[in-house]
Copies of this chain bind each other. A is one copy, B any other.
Amino acid sequence: MNIYDIAKEAGVSISTVSRVMNKKENVNPATRKKVEEILEKNNYTPSAIARGMVSKTMKTVAILTVDIRVPHYSRTAYTIEREFSRRGYEVLLCNTGGELSETVKYLRTVQEKKVDGIVLVGSVFNTLCKKEEIGKLLKNTPVVLANGKLELPNSYSVLVDDRYGVAMAVNHLMQRGYDKLFYLKDMDTVSARFKCEGFIQALQSYGIHNGKGYVIETERSIEGGMRAVNQLLLDKKEFTGIVCGEDLTAVGAVKALLHAGLRVPEDVAVTGYNNSDYAAICEPELTTVDNKPEMVAMMSVQLLTSLIEKTEAYSSCTIQPELVKGRTT
């Protein structure tokens, strides 16, 4: 069933049907009513494909993210999707795993599908977008990078000041008298690097200049956190606080400390990062840093929309995280 069938049944031309469907002004009320009835009766839905053929837009955007199962990404993607839905767009979800080849594949496909815009969620894309093959694919579509900086003409960035986020955690610990700190760093993304820098710089402001010596690399997981802390204990290192770049790692740290018979926070304090459900589940509840994924998402949608619809030109922005006090400090 197509627009011709409707036109025939209503005894009008396809132009009139089109006008009615698109709620244009210049249609005789009686004609409009009749066409609407036929439309209703047949439960007719016009083809967005044919429409897109003419209008050059499918009212669709793509979200590229590493892995939607990671709570931080799912919260961001959720808000982006809901917000775009509200504005009449639908969202294609792409889990790239952070891999170049997958990213290229997805970008090629969404370009063929003529998406109106792309949101890149995750700081991995900072690195990926530097690659020529990616830049080439991003050239013809509006892009927003959530949590990162992008050097492309038709793009905006929403930054989160992760350096400041970790520094806040350090200051908080120092003020409470926890002055022997270690930092558990995971992965090697831009964001992880910033967090680590925040740790080192914060220590510097307290006169500790060999901060690098207090950084331990480990995996982003409970086991990663446990292993790092167990190693510290084994090495008989002195410490009163563990600062983590991820809640999950912090959970592991807490577990290892408790299992070793230490008390949290009486003997050792722990901070996490992301203000995820994980922080609230942890016993005692983690002090953590809220890096505002919902706000990042809202801003990203705002910016991408302005790029797509060429309306008011907003500009890239930076969001300040916030410390959330739990019971581990």
Question: What residues of chain A have their CB less than 8 Å away from a CB belonging to chain B?
Answer: 43, 45-50, 52-53, 58, 60, 63, 67-69, 71, 74-75, 77-78, 81-82, 85, 90-95, 106, 108-114, 136, 222, 248, 251, 254-255, 258, 277-278, 280-283
Contacts and interface: CB of A to CB of B under 8 A. Distances in A.
A82 B95 contact: yes
A80 B48 CA distance: 24
Contacts of A81: 68, 93-95
A74 B248 CA distance: 17
Contacts of A82: 95
B58 A67 contact: no
B283 A113 contact: no
A22 to B, nearest CB: 13
A67 B78 contact: yes
A246 to B, nearest CB: 12
14 contacts: A43-B136, A45-B111, A46-B112, A48-B113, A49-B49, A49-B53, A58-B113, A67-B78, A90-B92, A90-B113, A91-B92, A93-B93, A258-B283, A278-B281
B71 A71 contact: yes
Contacts of A251: 281
B278 A255 contact: no
B248 A277 contact: yes
Contacts of A63: 93
Contacts of A93: 63, 77, 81, 91-93
A82 B63 CA distance: 14
B108 A45 contact: yes
Nearest to A56: B49
Nearest to A113: B48
A77 B67 CA distance: 11
A92 to B, nearest CB: 5
Contacts of A52: 49
Given A68-B81, A90-B92, A93-B93, A49 B114 contact: yes
A300 to B, nearest CB: 15
Contact of A114 (B47, B75, B113): B47
A77 B65 CA distance: 13
